[in-house]
């Protein structure tokens, strides 16, 4: 396991602040002698430090998929599987699969399919809770479309949540990408929507807990 580069500044700043707080709590203990209070405050400091570090963790995983497989792009829980009208790029019916990422999940995002990046666009927006029905269209978000060698196009969208305040993505139009390559990162609670062609075989169901680079969402036909 390693730490993501997006977390270096936050981890350094956060641990510095927590260290200063711990010194303050220890000084308070030397003045009051209240051991139980010092123990509780110290435990809170350690818990917050652990949560900050674990949020930016990147587990070691091996990505092995067939050419037409659609890989899960993020860790989390499947919260939506439905046929919808996609209005930003396709303007037609697609199968939407949405994955909710809690603050405890790994937040790096990976390409679900290989191919050529045909479209990349960032949208400023609101910060509704990630499971809100309007978060897909009203929240801060970025949209990417990859054209698979089969000719199918897959759209995937990073959506900021109530806690998320920064979406990071690293791909550009015209770039060749591979399944399992990292395309972005979302800081704190968030969601990923994947829009697949009608007729795509879907291999997950609502409520499934999925993992990036390990779980298969479906198969292009």
- 76 membership: H or E segment, kind and range: strand 76-86
Backbone φ and ψ of 220, nearest 5°: -70, 145
Instruction: Give the closest residue to 173 by CA, choosing from 183, 186, 188, 187.
Output: 183
Edge-to-edge strand list for the sheet holding 92-101: 176-177, 115-123, 141-147, 153-160, 190-196, 92-101, 76-86, 209-210
Report how far residue 157's alpha carbon sits from residue 73's, in angstroms, rounded to the nearest whole number.
10
| C-beta of residue 70 within 8 angstroms of C-beta of residue 111 | no
Asked whether the beta carbons of 121 and 142 are under 8 A apart, the reply is yes
Q: Which residues are catalytic?
A: 190
């Amino acid at each position: 396991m390693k730490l993501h580069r997006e977390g270096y500044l936050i981890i350094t700043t956060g641990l510095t602040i927590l260290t200063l707080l711990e010194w303050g709590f220890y000084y308070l203990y030397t003045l009051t002698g209240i051991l139980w209070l010092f123990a509780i405050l110290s435990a809170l400091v350690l818990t917050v430090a652990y949560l900050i570090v674990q949020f930016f963790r990147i587990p070691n995983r091996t990505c092995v998929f067939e050419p037409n497989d659609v890989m899960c792009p993020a860790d989390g829980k499947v919260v939506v599987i439905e046929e919808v009208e996609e209005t930003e790029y396709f303007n037609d019916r697609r199968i939407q699969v949405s994955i909710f990422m809690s603050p405890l999940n790994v937040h790096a995002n990976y390409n679900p399919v290989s191919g050529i990046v045909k479209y990349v666009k960032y949208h400023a927006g609101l910060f509704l809770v990630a499971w809100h029905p309007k978060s897909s269209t009203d929240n801060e978000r970025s949209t990417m479309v990859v054209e698979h060698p089969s000719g199918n196009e897959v759209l995937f969208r990073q959506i900021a949540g109530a806690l998320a305040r920064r979406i990071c993505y690293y791909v550009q139009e015209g770039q060749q990408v591979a399944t399992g390559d990292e395309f972005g990162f979302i800081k704190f609670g968030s969601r990923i929507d994947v829009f697949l062609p009608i007729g795509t075989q879907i291999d997950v169901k609502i409520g499934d807990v999925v993992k990036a680079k390990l779980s298969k969402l479906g198969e292009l036909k």
